[in-house]
Amino acid sequence: MTAQRRILLVNGPNLNLLGTREPEVYGTATLTDVVRVTTDAAAAAGFEVRSIQSNHEGVLIDAIHAAREDCAGIVINPGGLTHTSVALRDALTGVSLPFAEVHVSDVHAREEFRHFSYLQDVAAVRVIGEGVDGYANAVRQLTALIP
């Protein structure tokens, strides 16, 4: 497929533990479920998905940089990097692709430090607290912005 019809799905630190990590906060859906939900929503909009999850910031940044070559947009759940990483923000703004920021839990109903996001003012779409289904919502909103 061409770059205009591909989305990069990025999941940051600890999201590989979805389904087992604090199920009372994050639910029981797994990262495999996230990829499936995202892929299904993207396919319905005529897009394919390339997916990456890493606990290492540099790996995520490299994937974001590579996306400028063959992706039309990015859906990202940066995990804890949301609240700490200027470098991740710089990577996302540097590639000039529209992106959706997703959080499974309602970060605004949690600890104070989770209320701030380095991405909040530069994300084209933000979906917070909708569980794994929020990824599908993010894809629908993001693909609607891509010509």
Tokens at 116, concatenated: 């701030």
- pLDDT tens-digit readout, 71-123: 999 999 999 999 999 999 999 999 999 999 999 988 877 878 778 899 999 99
- pLDDT tens-digit readout, 12-29: 999 999 998 877 777 788
Q: How far is CA 53 from CA 15, 62, 91, in A?
A: 7, 12, 16
> What CATH number does the domain containing 92 carry?
3.40.50.9100
What are the residue ranges of helices labelled H in 5-132?
A: 23-26, 31-44, 57-70, 86-94
Q: How many domains does the chain have?
A: 1
- Model confidence pTM above 0.85: yes
Known catalytic membership, residue 108: no
Phi-psi region of 46 (alpha: psi -120 to 50; beta: other; left: phi over 0): left
- Annotated ligand binding at 49? The verdict is no
Known catalytic membership, residue 115: no
> Residue 131 and residue 29: Cα distance in Å, rounded?
9
**Residue 44 has what DSSP assignment?**
H
Task: Find the domain containing 97 and state its range.
Answer: 3-145
Catalytic residue (one of 26, 56, 108, 115): 26
Tokens at 18, concatenated: 């979805």
